């Protein structure tokens, strides 16, 4: 049985830091722990999906735990886990309450108790909103209305004073030498209204002294969420509303550097890629999207594909370079790969086009592909220019030389 190890998408620790995230962690920890850094202070970690934002949050968290454990109350909040909640303030406060309440020395018991009382009032308000009055008698409706009015007054008062109350609790913790730091991840996986809900909760209630917020987000997703939320007010894409919105919240915007070809190659080699990927690192550097998640998925599929080839004597003669390119295509453009499986000649057509040997919608193209020419022309119109990696992938490929065997390649890879 082959010995195949897979790479996970889960955030890694210091021992798995293949992207050299230490270059970000050291400055961030310095900012957070410097007594001269004024609070409230919000740090935005900007990067695309799969770029390593969660890993960076985890590394900063671990560094604070290991070297500054007595200086911070570290609160972790994932809004996507609570996406079915009607509003995000309650689970956000619950994350703080849980962290305070789980202190083994019970140093924050009083603060946890007071925050728990705030949460109970907010939860009661949400519960009363959901009461099904249609199933209640007239007498019960009257009592419920009175009860709701009384509770509503308490909740309104409590919500209005929430920021002040949270500031007092943060002050109590600061007197004990503790500041609060919130780690907020996966915000860009939420719906637009939930994204705004979290951001506004942070701005309204956590923008207080002795509090840090470290929030990871894909800025383009948040920009769309802000635009959708405020579109009814007449804003357009040219208003750059997302930029202005985040500028009011985030004091330190940190954009993760994109990986260059050399870093992609080093990442692949440091990941114990197996013989197939290891022998074609130069090709992978050119065609793999410089995104850690995409690279990991490509390497995982290549490892399994390599084992299939080794276990199938009839596949021993396959061109390994073509296997590499097809696996990358499978991972990075599933929609194009689906069309390629249906019409394998599309690989040849794209190769000839990118290598400047043949243009579509010409007599030569129709002569080369005969009956398939109309369908291929339509597919090429769909996919041409859809991905930047197609130029290097097809620019150096040799699919035409293996045209008759292409169905076998595609079947093996998952067509």
CB 146 within 8 A of CB 140: no
Convert 340-402 into a string of H (helix), E (strand) and C (coil): HHHCCHHHHHHHHHHCCCCCCCCHHHHHHHHHHHHHHHHHHHHHCCCCCCHHHHHHCCCCHHH
Three-class DSSP category at 214: strand
Query: Three-state DSSP class for 413?
Result: helix
Pairing of strands 72-77, 252-255: unpaired
φ and ψ at residue 72, rounded to 5 degrees:
-135, 145
For 18, 268, 292, 308, 403, the CA distances from 7, given in Å and listed in that order, are: 12, 11, 10, 18, 32
Q: Where are the domains of the chain?
A: 20-255, 261-413
Q: What confidence score (pLDDT) does residue 232 get?
A: 62
Give pLDDT tens digits along the chain (415 positions). 566 676 666 565 555 566 677 889 999 999 999 999 999 999 999 988 777 888 899 999 999 999 998 999 999 999 988 888 777 888 888 898 888 888 888 888 888 888 887 777 666 555 445 444 444 444 544 454 455 455 545 545 555 567 888 888 899 899 989 999 999 998 888 887 788 888 888 888 888 999 999 999 888 777 777 777 666 655 555 556 667 778 788 899 999 887 788 888 888 888 888 888 999 999 999 999 888 888 889 999 999 888 888 887 777 788 999 999 999 999 999 999 999 999 999 999 999 999 999 988 899 999 999 999 999 999 999 999 889 999 999 999 999 999 999 998 888 887 5
Task: Please count the CA atoms within 13 angstroms of the CA of 233 that sit on its side-chain side.
Answer: 8
Superfamily of domain 20-255: P-loop containing nucleotide triphosphate hydrolases (3.40.50.300)
* Nearest residue to 67 via CA among 75, 57, 59: 59
- Are the beta carbons of 388 and 258 closer than 8 angstroms? no
* Backbone torsions φ then ψ of 388, nearest 5 degrees: -70, -30
- Cα first-last separation, the chain: 24
Cα–Cα dist 84/30, whole Å: 36
Distance from C-alpha of 36 to C-alpha of 40, rounded to nearest angstrom: 12
Task: Give, for 215, the enclosing helix (H) or strand (E).
Answer: strand 211-217
For residues 73 and 101, give the distance between their C-alpha atoms in angstroms, rounded to a whole number.
11
Q: Is 82 left (phi over 0), alpha (psi -120 to 50) or beta?
A: alpha
266-323 pLDDT per residue, tens:
888 888 888 889 999 999 999 998 888 888 899 999 998 888 888 877 777 889 999 9
Contacts of 240 (CB under 8 A, 6+ apart): none
Give the pLDDT of residue 308: 86
pLDDT value of position 260:
81
- The per-residue pLDDT for range 126-179, each reduced to its tens digit, is 544 544 444 444 454 445 445 545 554 554 555 556 788 888 889 989 998 999
To the nearest 10°, the Cα dihedral for 119, 181, 244, 31?
Answer: 170
Integer Cα distance of 28 and 214 in angstroms: 10
List the structure tokens of 334: 């599933």
In angstroms, rounded to a whole number, what is the distance separating the alpha carbons of residues 102 and 184? 19
Q: Tell which residue, 209, 212, 214, has the closest CA to residue 175.
A: 209
Phi first, then psi, for residue 247 (nearest 5°) are -60, -30
Cα distance between residue 256 and residue 187, in whole Å: 17
Reading the block at residue 228, the tokens are 């959708």
Q: Is residue 383 within 8 Å of 339, Cβ to Cβ? A: yes
Q: Which residue has the tokens 């996919």?
A: 383
Closest CA to 336 of 408, 415, 234: 415
């Amino acid at each position: 049985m082959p010995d195949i190890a897979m790479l996970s998408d889960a955030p890694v620790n210091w021992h798995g830091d293949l992207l050299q995230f230490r270059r970000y962690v050291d400055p961030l920890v310095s900012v957070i722990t410097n007594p001269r850094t004024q609070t409230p202070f919000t740090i935005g970690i900007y990067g695309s999906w799969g770029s390593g934002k969660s890993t960076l949050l985890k590394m900063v968290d671990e560094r604070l735990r290991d070297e500054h454990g007595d200086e911070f109350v570290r609160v972790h909040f994932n809004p996507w886990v609570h996406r079915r909640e009607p509003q995000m303030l309650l689970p956000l406060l619950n994350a703080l309450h849980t962290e305070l309440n789980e202190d083994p020395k019970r140093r924050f018991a009083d603060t946890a108790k007071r925050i728990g009382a705030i949460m109970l009032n907010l939860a009661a308000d949400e519960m009363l909103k959901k009461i099904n009055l249609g199933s209640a008698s007239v007498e019960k409706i009257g009592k419920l209305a009175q009860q709701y009015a009384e509770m509503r007054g308490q909740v309104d008062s409590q919500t209005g004073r929430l920021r002040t109350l949270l500031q007092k609790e943060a002050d109590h913790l600061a007197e004990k030498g503790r500041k609060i730091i919130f780690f907020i991840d996966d915000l860009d996986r939420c719906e637009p209204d939930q994204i705004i809900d979290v951001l506004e909760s942070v701005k309204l209630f956590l923008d207080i002294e002795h509090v840090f917020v470290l929030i990871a987000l894909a800025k383009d997703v948040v920009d769309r969420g802000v635009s959708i939320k405020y579109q009814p007010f007449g804003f357009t894409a040219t208003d750059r509303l997302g930029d202005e919105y985040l500028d009011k919240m985030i004091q330190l915007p940190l954009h993760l550097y994109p990986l260059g070809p050399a870093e992609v190659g080093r990442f692949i080699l440091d990941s114990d890629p197996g013989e197939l990927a290891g022998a074609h690192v130069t090709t992978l550097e050119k065609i793999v999207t410089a995104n850690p998640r995409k690279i990991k998925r490509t390497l995982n599929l290549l490892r399994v594909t390599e084992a299939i080839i080794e276990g199938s004597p009839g596949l021993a003669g396959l061109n390994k370079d073509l296997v590499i390119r097809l696996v990358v295509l499978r991972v990075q453009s599933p929609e194009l790969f689906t069309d390629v499986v249906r019409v394998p000649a599309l690989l040849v057509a794209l190769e000839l086009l990118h290598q400047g040997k043949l243009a579509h919608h010409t007599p030569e193209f129709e002569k080369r592909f005969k009956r398939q020419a109309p369908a291929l022309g339509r597919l090429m119109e769909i996919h041409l220019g859809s991905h930047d990696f197609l130029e290097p992938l097809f620019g150096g490929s040799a699919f035409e030389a293996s045209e008759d065997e292409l169905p076998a390649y595609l079947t093996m890879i998952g067509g």
